[in-house]
A and B are shown apart, each in its own frame.
Chain A
Amino acid sequence: MSTSAVLHNADVHTHDAHHEHHHHETFISKYVFSQDHKMISKQFLITGIIWAIIGGLFSVLFRLQLGYPDTTFPFLEDLLGHWAKGGKLQPEFYYALVTMHGTILVFFVLTAGLSGTFANFLIPLQIGARDMASPMLNMLSYWFFFLASIIMFASLFVQTGPASGGWTIYPPLSALGDASSGSKIGMDLWLVSMAMFIVSSLLGGLNYISTILNLRTKGMSMTRMPLTIWGLFFTAVLGVLSFPVLLSGAILLLFDRNLGTSFYLSDIYINGKILPNEGGSAILFQHLFWFLGHPEVYIILLPAMSMSSEIISVNSRKPIFGYMAMVGSMFAIAILAFLVWAHHMFVTGLNPFLGAFFVLLTLLIAVPSAIKVFNWLTTIWRGSLRFTPAMLFAIGFVSMFISGGLTGIFLGNSALDIHLHDTYFVVAHFHIVMGVASFFGMFAGVYHWFPKMYGRYLNNTMAYIHFWVTMVGAYLIFWPMHYQGFAGVPRRYYDFSMWESFNQFGGLNEFISFVAMIVFAVQLLFVFNFFYSIFKGRKVTTTNPWGANTLEWTTPIRPGHGNWPGEIPEVHRGAYDYGKDGREFILQTEPVGENESHH
């Protein structure tokens, strides 16, 4: 298979060093409707960064309400008009912000922005391919994402406001305009946008899978692939198998909203009106949603996990410990990801017997997760660690993954979930394990591969400030939230003043909001560093600045269309021969020597 792949590649693109001089690209074909995987990955990354700023800003706005419930901010009224009458966020808008924060960060940043960027960038470069299997579909994948982005962005400006029923859009709340102003036109836009998003994700995913399976260079057997590729492969498989289920769920919801069907609606009496719908099940939607929603967690996490593995190995100057176990545990996580969705639904009246299976399968995920953690620890053990910004973020990833993973053991155990479900404990759990950890993986990836993307380095000092403020800040924000959870404080509350049981955390909420603003500001520093360094960063002068083994570092400093001038290199070994036989690193392209030790 690999041999024919090389031949196929060679037939299509006969590249030589002068190739770029012959081929005149216009601005449009190079930067806009580009079919080059590297350019498409940058498009995903930059769109993702823009969304991250918007999503992050939303969290700062609603943290203002939580932290300073008694203060008015006149500038909010200037900015948001009647959504912040008298300088105070209105509850409807607070919920819209919470909803859009979740939607944007989960889908637009940590799905499209993360795997869109790194699957596109790394798959061809690390497996030794000229480009994706279908550059055309790849381009369409970005443009469907762009279309989804435009529609979602537009929904922020409709008069009744964007969707406000939570990022999980449970009907009937999301199905009935009578139930919430955010469930009017804003919700339709949300659903249409997500449909476009899903098309984008499917086009991308199919492409990633077929590229990995078919276009590996000679010698690049599956078990020689870098872990990044394995992670991105499982991610794509998860997405392709689960996103269509959300699509069907969303389409049925559109029908219920606009065509009078009753898939999710029954027995409803609202605003003095009796609705004619009968026989639907609101819980059906939750099954469809979480059948995507849970794999989605791993769609977000696996790329971060696998990139961190790669970066930890490179910067420890040691092989990743237990390569096969790392692949196997990702495989186990990918399988289990499909079998645990109902652990989000323990308190919906789920059949307890069925619930028991979901408890068992959910807690089973802790086993491959534990294997990964101990393998990372063993990888850095007796290494020779270089704390590049990427390495720091990868270590931060492991720390966050441990902290957030362990609280999953509480929530996956149904009896305990009865108590902790929908409290701040859950907020702390998923922000640490899914939000912060994945962001750390993404930052690690950006810092590590930025030199390959742009031929320049990011500024180190700003990077170190970025890391340390984010690391400390993330723990300061989310660690105390566990205590709010232990106090039973429900999530998604606009104000606690009327509650005897939940109103004791005023000072803490103010503190969290304050730290959140600082952490947000430091992300802006990163964004500045990113764009500044694209143009003015220190130039990369060597093809392999980190001393890594993988193929992307055998390309020119700024690889052109087709990635390698001349032949695609042949691979002779796995990606992790660091420190072997006293040599610091051995490129994958180096043939195995006669006297080389076996392991």
Chain B
Amino acid sequence: MTQILLAAIGVMIFVVIFQIAKASEYVNVLKGEEKARRQNNKINAFLLISFLVLGLIGVWWCNDLFYNKTLFVQPAASDHGEKIDLMLYITLGVTGVVFILTQVLLFWFAFKYQESDDRKAYYFPHNTKLELIWTTVPAIFLTVLVVFGLKYWFKMTGEAPKDAIVVEVTGHQFGWEYRYPGPDKTLGAKNFKLSKGANSLGVDFDDPAAKDDIHVATTMYLPVGKPVKFVINAQDVIHDVGLSHFRLKMDAVPGIPTTLWFTPLYTTAKMKEITNNPDFVYELSCDQMCGKGHYSMRGVITVVSEEAYNFWLAQQKPEIWTVRPETAPKPAGAPAVTDSTAAAKTATPVAAVMGTK
């Protein structure tokens, strides 16, 4: 019912606008084309300058409303992120000045130089000096931004430090899996043709390096202050490891592993304090369209102290115990962890002990 009512109101407004539009056209004919045109010109010139003033107020107001909802109010949670924030501020500063300057000139000129009887248009077809100025000045500013940007770009995309913790991140429709290399610090070989049942990642458990690898889903633990290197894979379609709090992201492409490294600067608990938000979590979002569940492809990264991280890691059971149950030690009575999600679940009470939740 309300929909019909809304539609009727829409049609009414439309008819009214149409009637006014027709009427004003007749009025203009009566008034004389020239006079009507000049009147329209004055009105629109006034509207243009009003748009400028109200628009600038709106820009300020919009900033006021939403600034606190952005990441500007949170420190970047990684070392790379701090550099990105600095670049963001510099770029905002430079473009902000240009934005205000050009928009003000555009609308102010439009208002000031509206058609008038006292003035004729000034014939000014070109001026080489002026044109050279606005070729070189932007070029200089851009050079500065490029130099800054590339310096950071090479730093961020360069080799990870040798002592970086390696975590393999794998995306699939619609979730995230993580693999830790275990005590030998080497990830076992993988072959997608081995993917089957419990061994969803296709790990080659005949590879000795794979025997101590740990597989967890959804929630990843990382130590604060230690560099970490992600080796990123996808099983089916392209996904993207989006880490907005760390200001980073990297695509996950089937068949072509990518890498990303950074150093987390704050534990999750510390960020809860900083943001004054008890529900704060580092979320891992899929940032590349990957199908109908794209919007729900959520992972969590819990950053803890190094001791807590080591404690957590020690609790984890190698994946091979699940995939090849015969390899698992058999303490009488206590059954081994049966699947990888259960491994992730056991992590939660541990975290509770460590005071991160």
| B329 located at the interface, meaning its Cβ lies under 8 Å from any Cβ of chain A in the complex | no
Chain B residues whose C-beta falls within 8 Å of the C-beta of A265 in the assembled complex: 254-255
Chain B residues near A38 (CB-CB < 8 A): none
Q: Which of B95, B124, B242 contacts A321 (CB 8 A)?
A: B124
Residue numbers in A under 8 Å from B341 (CB-CB): none
In the complex, the chain B residue whose C-beta lies closest to that of A574 is: B125
Residue-wise interface mask of A (86-124) relative to B, using a CB-CB cutoff of 8 A (1 in contact, 0 not): 000011100100000000000000000000000000000
Give the interface size bracket for A toward B.
35 or more
Interface pair A395/B106, CB less than 8 Å apart = yes
Q: A180 near B: Cβ within 8 Å?
A: yes
Nearest-Cβ distance from residue B54 to partner chain A, whole angstroms: 9
Contact A268 B121 (CB under 8 A): no
Write the chain B residue with the least CB distance to A576.
B125
Count A/B pairs, Cβ under 8 Å: 374
The answer to whether A283 touches B256, judged by C-beta atoms less than 8 angstroms apart, is yes
Partner of A407, one of B71, B95, B113: B95
The answer for the CA separation of A407 and B94 in the assembled complex, in Å, is 11
**Is A556 among interface residues, defined by CB-CB distance under 8 A?**
no
- A383-B122 in contact (CB<8A): yes
> For the complex, is B45 an interface residue (Cβ under 8 Å from A)?
yes
Using CB atoms, name the residue of chain A closest to B69.
A504
Interface residue B186 (Cβ < 8 Å from any Cβ of A): no
Given A359-B149, A399-B106: A281 and B255 within 8 A (CB)? yes
B236 touches A179 (CB 8 A): yes
Closest residue of B by beta carbon distance from A362: B146
B289 touches A480 (CB 8 A): no
Question: Assuming A347-B250, A402-B102, A579-B121, is B255 touching A496 (CB within 8 A)?
Answer: no
Cα distance, A213 to B40, chains bound together (Å): 41
Q: Considering the complex, which residues of chain A in the window 331-358 have a beta carbon less than 8 Å from any beta carbon of chain B?
A: 347-349, 352, 355-356
**A386 and B87 alpha carbons, distance in the complex (Å):** 42
Q: Closest chain A residue to B279 by CB distance?
A: A500
A579: which of B67, B115, B122 is its contact (CB, 8 Å)? B122
One of A44-52, A131-139, A238-246, A463-471 at the interface: A463-471
Please indicate the chain B residues that have their CB under 8 angstroms from the CB of A505 in the complex.
Answer: 66, 69
Asked if B24 contacts A282 (CB within 8 A), the reply is no
Chain B window 246-281, contacts with chain A (Cβ cutoff 8 Å), 1 for yes, 0 for no: 011111011110110000000000000000000111
**Minimum CB–CB distance for A411 against chain B, Å:** 10
Cβ–Cβ contact A349 & B251, under 8 A: yes
Contacts of A322 in B (CB 8 A): 125-127, 131
Chain B 280-292, CB within 8 Å of chain A: the 1/0 string?
Answer: 1101011111111
Asked if A487 and B158 sit within 8 Å, CB to CB, the answer is: no
Residues in B with CB closer than 8 Å to A153 are none
B254 lies within 8 A of A172 (CB): yes
Measured CB to CB, the closest approach of chain B to A502, in angstroms, equals 7
In contact, A359 and B146 (Cβ under 8 angstroms):
yes
Binds A, one of B216-224, B294-302, B310-318, B344-352: B294-302
Q: Could you write out 14 A-B pairs with CB less than 8 Å apart? A: A95-B294, A173-B291, A367-B135, A375-B131, A377-B106, A378-B127, A383-B122, A406-B98, A418-B156, A422-B240, A460-B25, A493-B295, A528-B14, A579-B122
Interfacial residues, chain A to chain B (CB-CB below 8 A): 75, 90-92, 95, 164-166, 170-173, 176, 179-181, 265-270, 274, 278, 280-283, 316-325, 347-349, 352, 355-356, 359-360, 363-364, 366-367, 370-371, 373-378, 380-387, 392, 395, 398-399, 402-403, 406-407, 409-410, 413-416, 418-419, 421-423, 459-462, 464-465, 468, 471-472, 475, 479-480, 483, 486-488, 490, 492-496, 498-502, 504-505, 508, 521, 524-525, 528-529, 538, 576, 578-582, 584, 599
